[in-house]
Amino acid sequence: MKTEKPILLFDGDCKFCNFWVALIQRQKVKHKFNYYPLNSPEGEKLLEKYQVEKAVDSVLVIDNKKVFYKSNAAFRVAKTLGGFWNLTLILWLIPKPIRNWLYDIIAKNRNKFFKNRENCEIHN
């Protein structure tokens, strides 16, 4: 039985990442996750606890003591949010190497998407 909320670890210096976390927090289900920047004291403790390299370049979701990376982390977020977010789960049919390749392209260019946006405060 699941007793803890999933944890969402993200690049706190990335405006694109902050945008998505803020968007998730504005949903009716905003309290379904605990949010921590990867480089925060809490984030660093979690990376160590779950033996994740500090140089990881991915959003991470920790759920039921399992770590999800890249596109799998995004799908875990969508599944947890439910509602219309479940529509994105159809993309699960795309083979994982292709999904993660697309994820890497977006991650590599993420700072270009929101270069004029201010980082916003993220709340747990």
Instruction: Kindly give the confidence (pLDDT) of every residue in the chain, 124 residues in length, as a single tens digit, with 9 standing for 90 and above.
Output: 455 889 999 988 887 788 888 888 877 666 788 989 998 999 999 999 999 987 787 889 999 999 999 999 988 988 888 787 777 778 878 999 999 998 888 888 877 766 655 555 555 5
How far is residue 22's CA from residue 16's CA, in Å, rounded to a whole number?
A: 10
What's the pTM? 0.79
**What pLDDT, on the 0 to 100 scale, is given for residue 101?**
93
Domain range 7-113, its CATH number among 3.30.160, 3.30.70, 3.40.30, 3.40.50 = 3.40.30
Buried b (16+ CB within 10 A) or exposed e, 25-40: beeeebebbebbbbee
The predicted pLDDT at position 1 comes to: 42
Q: Which three-class secondary structure state does DSSP give residue 13? A: coil
